[in-house]
Amino acid sequence: MATEMDRAPEKLKLKTEVGLLGGVSLIAGVMIGSGIFMSPQYVLLYIGSPGASLLIWAASGVLAMLASLCYAELGTVIRESGGEYIYILRTSGNLMAFIFAFTSVVVVRPTSMAGVALSFAQNALAPFYDDCLPPDGVIKCLAATGILLLAVVNCLNVRSSMAVMVFFTVVKMLALVVIMTGGVVLLIQGNTSNSLQNSMDGTKLSVSAIGTAFYQCLWSYDGWNNLNSVTEEIKHPEVNLPRALMIAIPMVTILYLLVNVSYLVVMTPTEMISSSAVAVTWGNKVLGGWGWIMSVAAALSAFGSLNGSFFSGGRVCYVAAREGHMPDILAMAHMHRLTPSPALIFTTVISLIVLIPGDFQGIVNFFSFTAWFFYGVTFSGLLYLKIKKPELPRAITVPIIIPILVLMAAVFLVLAPIIDDPQIEYLYVTLFILSGMLIYIPFIHFKLFPGILDKLTVFLQLVLEVAPTDKNL
């Protein structure tokens, strides 16, 4: 296929507009989303005791920090956007990279974004439905509106998307500071729920309980790897990538621990477990008539997290297409705005489809199981590079014990729930992942029907005003 756009003297490049502040905001802004406002009660439910739940939150923060250090090294060895996709491609080959791209672009990213959008809608509508839950149809309509609005923002330009990210990061940090401060004041006054006394009573030590509690907790930490998806758009990535990780993740971990302590100071374990949104329940008990503020804060937090997922998720689809694992149109950028708008539009459409049968808990468990399988493949790739290619230049190097530890953690998180409490859903997920081979072999490896999309690609190029981008950034 050849068009006038293809014959342009210079191919387009995505702008490098993400500095240190933008990088920290992107990581923290995605990590602090719906999870910390909704997941604490589920962590407590699965693990059984307040003390053990705090240990799970601390361990998850350490795991996210160690995993991000591995990604920092990968990001300075392989300086390309695409996150796990590009790392798996360079270390494990085309087939595994395609299976990741297929699973991520078609299911994992859209289901994650649908889950965050549902959380945003539930919290935004809560003040208007004091005595009952909002209707399911209304929740999904508002969630779809949020997805469409952010799709437009991200298609317009990178700078506007990052401005939205910084603003919402500030809002959600303020909300968490309010929760922490309220807990400290109540501790000083002695008005506590006594949840922290005998805090280990009732702890469940089964492998399945621990694994599922980690799933719920790590949902709140998801986003630690998002900056690696946009490496090509970071200013001085060899410096700003590791710095942003070192600032954002410890900051979020400390915030999460203090916020959970505040929840436990205000509420009993029974109150937490029975709550539909623990931050809103906290607001009603501490702020009284102003409790609706926490509902609004939780909605804004989820909205900001959704924006960050859009920003990074569209890049994974874009890079996979650039490498020939997705239709060519998804590897193109707008000729004037220099954003990967076709990939963003595609991600939006899939997210809206996934939203129709959306179920928050099912989304969390499915996302966590699949995500940690591919994280494990990625960590294996880092071990391969450290052992087989130690001569490659690295701006940051982590001790080899760190990728070994996080790989062991990934294996535990994938296998623990299946071995201890096997469910048919995990078989369905595994079969779906493997089904990627049925598409890869005929259409990617043997390149059957190579011209089938050419006419559609030309038409969409003209309509969307997009052109191929330069791979060698």
DSSP per residue over 418-452, as a string?
A: HHHS--HHHHHHHHHHHHHHHHIIIIIIS--STTT
Please report, in tens digits, the pLDDT of each residue of the chain (473 residues total).
Answer: 444 334 434 455 555 556 777 778 778 877 887 678 777 888 898 888 888 999 999 999 999 999 988 988 888 888 777 778 889 999 998 899 999 988 888 877 887 888 888 888 888 887 787 667 788 889 899 999 999 998 888 887 767 777 777 788 788 888 888 888 888 888 888 766 676 777 788 788 888 888 888 888 888 888 787 777 666 667 777 777 788 888 888 988 998 998 998 888 888 888 888 876 788 788 888 887 777 888 888 888 888 878 877 766 566 777 888 888 888 888 787 777 777 788 888 888 988 988 887 666 666 666 777 888 899 999 999 999 999 988 888 878 889 999 999 999 999 988 877 776 777 777 777 888 888 888 888 877 777 766 666 777 788 888 888 877 765 43
User: CB neighbours (10 Å) of residue 380?
Assistant: 16
In a domain, 7, yes or no: no
Closest CA to 24 of 158, 162, 153, 120: 162
Collapsed DSSP state (helix, strand, coil) of residue 462: helix
pLDDT on residue 293: 84
pTM for this prediction: 0.81
Q: 11 lies in a domain?
A: no
- In eight-state DSSP terms, residue 336 is T
Rounded distance between C-alpha atoms, residue 53 and residue 41, angstroms: 9
The count of C-alpha atoms lying within 13 angstroms of the C-alpha of 302, restricted to the half-sphere facing its C-beta, is: 31
Total domains, the chain: 1
Round to whole Å and give the CA distance between 124 and 138. Answer: 11
Say if 1 falls within a structural domain.
no
Residue 79: DSSP 8-state: -
CATH code, domain carrying 258 = 1.20.1740.10
In this structure, is residue 189 part of a structural domain? yes
**Structural domain contains residue 473:** no
**CA pair distance 391, 432, nearest whole angstrom:** 37
How large is the C-alpha radius of gyration of the chain?
22
Whether residue 99 is contained in a domain is answered as yes
pLDDT value for 17: 57
C-beta of residue 470 within 8 angstroms of C-beta of residue 340: no
Q: Which of 230, 234, 225, 218 is nearest to 317 (CA)?
A: 230
Structural domain span for residue 227:
20-468
Q: What is the pLDDT of residues 143-184, one digit of tens each?
A: 999 999 988 888 877 677 777 777 887 888 888 888 888 888
* d(C-alpha 355, C-alpha 309), whole Å: 15
pLDDT of 108-119, one tens digit each?
Answer: 788 788 888 888
CB 112 within 8 A of CB 363: yes
User: How many residues can be counted in the chain?
Assistant: 473
According to DSSP, residue 135 is labeled P
Q: Residue 419: inside a domain, yes or no?
A: yes
SS3 71: helix
Q: What's the CA gap between 414 and 211, in Å, rounded? A: 8
50: Cβ contacts below 8 Å, ≥ 6 apart: 44, 195, 196, 199, 264, 269
Q: Evaluate whether residue 5 is within a structural domain.
A: no
Per residue in 64-100, pLDDT (tens digit) is 999 988 988 888 888 777 778 889 999 998 899 999 9
Q: What does the pLDDT read at residue 84?
A: 86
